[in-house]
Structure 1
């Protein structure tokens, strides 16, 4: 898509890391407030971005969170998946920041 333009790639990575960081913070805030509808909205907002950037592990964890929110879920299980998602996101962002 960037046709080898490294400056454009770096800009896209910067936008991605910024947006995903904010989304994760918002998801965690919503969880602390037990606002499950907001979590659902935010996960739907983030999914296309993860697909676009090919971050498969994050995408899978997000799909698990989405699936839980559609059921009569256990709050501890949701918290575990949110924690996993947050940790994985931090790793991805750190790696991208190191690479770009």
Structure 2
């Protein structure tokens, strides 16, 4: 089960696409997530990159907890194609990204 709301993931996707203007806010947003949310976010990115399959999500989360070496915000923001990886990860986990994005944009 996903321990981070899809809306928070879409917020990160949106901010990462903003480039330098959203970089400081994105670092702060990711830092403000709790440890469970951060691990699930990393696991989602890995699923989106194809490192793990959606069916192995629990293993990805466990690995994210156990192998954390750098702050999550720095690790993720150093990842090429972060927004695309998170989008693909959400889709692989069965979420309708377009619907979540519509809800996010309507609220912002």
Give the shorter-chain TM-score range. Answer: 0.3 to 0.5
Normalising by structure 2, we get a TM-score of 0.43
Normalising by structure 1, we get a TM-score of 0.46
Tell me: higher relative CO, structure 1 or 2? Use CA pairs within 8 A at least 6 residues apart. 2
